Amino acid sequence: MKVVFHEIFRGVYDYDPAAAKGRIDCIYDELEGFFEFIEPVPAVESDLLLVHEQSHVDYVKSKGIIYEVALFAAGGAILAAESAVRGEPAFALIRPPGHHAGRNSSWGFCWFNNIAIAVARQRRLGTVKKVAIADIDLHFGDGTSNIFQDTPDVSYYHLYNIDGLEQFLAINQDCDLVAVSAGFDMHVEDWGFILSTQDYTTIGKIVANHARKYCGGRFFAVLEGGYNQRVLGKNVKALLDGFALS
């Protein structure tokens, strides 16, 4: 399991909870020494235009430092997907998050849809055709869902319980790649009050087992939400431990 990370993600680029000081650091500190870290380069505009309108790209450009960090976030997701299609699972420790960003809109602390850009790029390159996207964030990824709503070969699922995740993957046995929008705000000590830390390990095992059985071990995850810094790093580590335990 590789972890995609760049020092730019430590910076406080905005005033929202996803950009809070120390949020990335608490995750990095939990993962350091257990996983190999690799560094992304920023996405280029042609990558962004795979899923976003030019007007949206221009709008984010006007945001200064937010645009710079968002390019690295998209680039981090791209690198994680590239690693995954080589059979080397990866987790993109990135921010801003992305799953609320649509073709010409953004909200919920998101600017570019990182996971959608990464998936669309691999499909354009022809490395994969069918992709299953599992979103385990507390909030529905409306941006991701809308971007792929007219793309039959990309299936989107938002977690409502662990059994539902297993059922979603069971009907996607012919997929070439599994992508996970990995939010952690559904935790019992975060905004959602639902999942335990151990549940994230279980989710990781389910995803990795499916990917290794049906699509050559090709899967990756990108950070979305999760805001309680006291438990956030432990929850991310639990998910990655599950990925490795399958």
Point out the residues that are catalytic.
Answer: 100
Instruction: Give, in degrees to the nearest 5, the angle at Cα 219 between 21 and 210.
Output: 125
Contact between 187 and 203 (Cβ < 8 Å): no
Distance of alpha carbon 23 from alpha carbon 195, whole angstroms:
19
CA distances from 187 to 134, 182, 193, 230, 236 (A): 17, 12, 5, 12, 11
Q: What is the distance, to the nearest Å, from the Cα of residue 161 to the centroid of all Cα atoms in its chain? A: 18
Helix (H) / strand (E) element for 241: namely helix 229-245
Phi and psi, residue 3, nearest 5°: -115, 120
Beta bridge partners of 131: 154, 177
Distance of alpha carbon 196 from alpha carbon 234, whole angstroms:
11
Q: Which amino acid is at 119?
A: V
Torsion of CA 18, 21, 22, 25, to 10 degrees: 80
